[in-house]
């Protein structure tokens, strides 16, 4: 990659934007010392309704509307060519019921209200990365927001902010789904942070986000949501486990130490192995941060919000968040102009296919570890050995999940993904080794055990209804250990 032209191209584009458009001058003020005047909108500083921005910013609004792609209906991840093992890996947890591929920001509010994982006990924290109403909810409710009942309190209050708005091109809920005010100050249109969880996590690392550079903000706005988090047990606040650093091993260390000291032990108990499990979320920001592009200062917006020319030949920032590979010319090739589009596509495909292959292998170890420990329990292996193996299952699955839940299929950080998956496999295999040692002492037929595991996995695969797959993950050979009588 010898001929990277990152900075020059960037400056050029910034200059072009300033000469093409007058509105943009305020947004680029930090880059032009000559323009000190702040543009201000006619909007209220508290504006949170997306369609309210339409009149003043028709081009960005029109671009934002491209996120409405009705054909991208919630595709389940459970199908054979995506992640058929999930109903086993997440047994006894909401993710065994429904786990869909992502879709556009404009659908986030609608999707969180309809997904099967949300139940009567779900809490306010689940709304945090879905709606522009969240800062208003926090203002109104204070820290009660986080643990308030999702269905009964949070949803009606959220929707009340959009009362009177008719269903239009944004559907019924798009007005308040992730949008303008999440990333922009409605009056100055400067990029801003609206989620305290991000500000606080950065502050704990000694970083003051109000001092961030404009380039950092082009990633920080995304890092409000595209990150790993957990609900701290006291107030159920969305908390990012970053005090020791952003790498998977540093976040795991946080969960095993600081989080436990605060009383957070696990997200759920696995009903096949009885292990106290941790669920990982979408750590795009973390993986990016120590990958080749994050280290080089290439921001999320550089690839996911390329400049686009509109009809009037104005250049704007695209607000259609999707795959950069749909637009290699305006994304990758603004910097990698020495590579052809075909070369770049091939590089990405190679990274992703190697990554997905490794992921399949890794999760296979996790699946088998659950069944091995299930057998330890049903044949009466010593309790402390079971607990030891359960801890390795927890560790192994988390190091797989933190990568599986990352949405770039390895692209944001190819090496980081591989390293975490190696840690995962080692830990899962350690659980299996402990089990084998104990099972041999108890004369368990390991060949028969392997055959039973294979048969069970096939039963899950062969069930065509995604909603029923998890029902085949336990059976007479591998009972739900949470339902055994001692």
Applying CB under 6 A, which residues contact ligand HEC?
1, 4, 6, 24, 27, 50, 53, 57, 60-61, 64, 102-105, 107-108, 111, 129-130, 178-180, 182-184, 189, 191, 214, 218-219, 221-222, 224-226, 284-285, 288, 292-293, 296, 298, 300-305, 316-317, 319, 321-325, 331-332, 334-336, 344, 347-348, 407-409, 411-412
Of 282 and 368, nearer to ligand HEC (C-beta) is: 282
Please list the residues that pair with 316 across neighbouring strands. Answer: 308
Q: 8 phi and psi, to 5 degrees?
A: -55, -50
Q: How far is the CB of 445 from ligand HEC (least distance, A)?
A: 44
What 3-state DSSP class applies to 416? helix
Nearer of residues 39 and 266 to ligand HEC, judged by Cβ: 39
Q: List CB contacts of 486: < 8 A, sequence separation 6 or more.
A: none
CB of 355 to ligand HEC, least distance (A): 10
Considering the complex, state which of residue 60 and residue 456 has its C-beta at the smaller distance from ligand HEC. Answer: 60
Q: Smaller CB distance to ligand HEC: residue 284 or 430?
A: 284
Decide whether 227 or 259 has the Cβ nearer to ligand HEC.
227
Residue 380 φ/ψ region, left for φ over 0, alpha for ψ in the -120 to 50 degree band, beta for the rest: left
Residue 312 has which token pair?
């009037």
The smaller minimum CB distance to ligand HEC, of residues 128 and 374, is found at: 128
Angle, CA of 374, 375 and 380, to the nearest 5°: 105
| Residue closer to ligand HEC (CB basis): 1 or 261 | 1
CA atoms within 13 A on the CB side of 171: 18
Tokens standing for residue 84: 């058929």
Q: Please, where are the H alpha helices in 205-324?
A: 214-223, 248-256, 258-261, 284-289, 292-295, 300-304
Supply the minimum distance, in Å, between the C-beta of residue 147 and ligand HEC: 20
Q: Are 424 and 365 in contact (CB under 8 A)?
A: yes
> What's the closest the beta carbon of residue 248 comes to ligand HEC, in angstroms?
15
Least distance to ligand HEC, CB of residue 436, Å: 38
If phi > 0 it is left, if psi is from -120 to 50 it is alpha, else beta; for residue 206 that is left
Residues in contact with 105: Cβ distance below 8 Å, sequence separation at least 6, in sequence order:
67, 177, 178, 179, 321
Whole-number minimum distance, CB 334 to ligand HEC, in Å? Answer: 5
Is the Cβ of residue 325 or residue 418 nearer to ligand HEC in the bound state?
325
Smallest separation, CB 52 to ligand HEC (Å): 9
286 vs 463, beta carbon nearer ligand HEC: 286
Distance CA 283, CA 226 (A): 6
Shortest approach of ligand HEC to residue 472 CB, angstroms? 27
Extended beta strands in 90-246, E state = 230-231, 238-239
C-alpha angle 66/67/72, rounded to 5°? 115
Chain Cα centroid distance, residue 186: 26
Query: Of 147, 224, 212, whose CA–CA distance to 179 is shortest?
Result: 224
Residue 144 CB, nearest approach to ligand HEC (Å): 20
């Amino acid at each position: 990659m010898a001929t990277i032209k990152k900075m020059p191209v960037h400056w050029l584009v910034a200059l072009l934007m300033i000469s093409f458009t007058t509105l943009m001058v305020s947004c680029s003020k930090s880059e032009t010392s000559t323009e000190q005047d702040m543009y201000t909108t006619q909007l209220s500083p508290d504006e949170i309704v997306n369609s309210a921005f339409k009149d003043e910013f028709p081009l960005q609004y029109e671009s934002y509307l491209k996120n409405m792609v009705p054909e991208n209906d919630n595709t389940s991840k459970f199908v054979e060519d995506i992640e058929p093992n999930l109903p086993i890996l997440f047994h006894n947890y909401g993710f065994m019921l429904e786990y869909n591929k992502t879709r556009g920001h404009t659908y986030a509010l609608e999707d969180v209200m309809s997904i099967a994982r949300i139940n009567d006990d779900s809490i306010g924290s689940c709304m945090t990365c879905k709606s522009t109403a969240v800062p208003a909810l926090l203002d109104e409710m204070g820290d009660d927001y986080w643990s308030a009942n999702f269905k009964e309190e949070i949803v009606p209050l959220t929707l009340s902010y959009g009362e009177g708005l008719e269903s239009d091109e944004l559907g019924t809920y798009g007005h308040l789904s992730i949008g303008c005010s999440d990333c922009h100050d409605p009056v100055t249109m400067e990029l801003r942070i609206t989620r305290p969880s991000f500000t606080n996590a950065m502050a704990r690392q000694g970083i003051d986000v109000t001092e961030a550079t404009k380039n950092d903000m082009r990633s920080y706005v995304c890092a409000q949501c595209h990150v790993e988090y957990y609900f701290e047990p006291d107030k159920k606040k969305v908390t990012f486990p970053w005090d020791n650093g952003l790498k998977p091993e540093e976040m795991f260390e946080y969960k095993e130490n600081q989080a436990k000291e605060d009383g957070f032990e696990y997200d759920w108990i696995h009903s096949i192995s009885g292990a106290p499990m941790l669920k990982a979320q979408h750590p795009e920001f973390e993986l990016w941060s120590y990958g080749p592009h994050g280290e080089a200062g290439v921001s999320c917006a550089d690839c996911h919000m390329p400049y686009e020319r509109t009809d009037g030949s104005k250049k704007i920032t695209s607000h259609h968040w999707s795959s950069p590979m749909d637009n290699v010319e305006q994304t990758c090739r603004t910097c990698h102009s020495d590579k052809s589009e075909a070369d770049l596509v091939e590089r990405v495909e190679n990274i992703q296919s190697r990554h997905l292959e490794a992921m399949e292998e890794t999760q296979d170890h996790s699946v088998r570890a659950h069944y091995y420990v299930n057998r330890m329990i049903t044949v009466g292996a010593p309790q402390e050995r079971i607990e030891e193996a359960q801890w390795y299952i927890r560790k192994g699955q988390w190091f797989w999940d933190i990568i599986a839940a990352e949405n770039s299929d390895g692209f944001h950080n190819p090496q980081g993904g591989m390293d975490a998956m190696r840690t995962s496999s080692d830990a899962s295999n350690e659980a299996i080794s402990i089990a084998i040692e104990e099972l041999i002492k108890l004369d368990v037929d390991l060949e028969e055990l392997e055959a039973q595991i294979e048969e069970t996995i096939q039963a899950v695969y062969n069930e065509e209804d995604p909603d029923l797959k998890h029902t085949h993950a336990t059976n007479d050979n591998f009972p739900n250990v949470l339902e055994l009588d001692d």
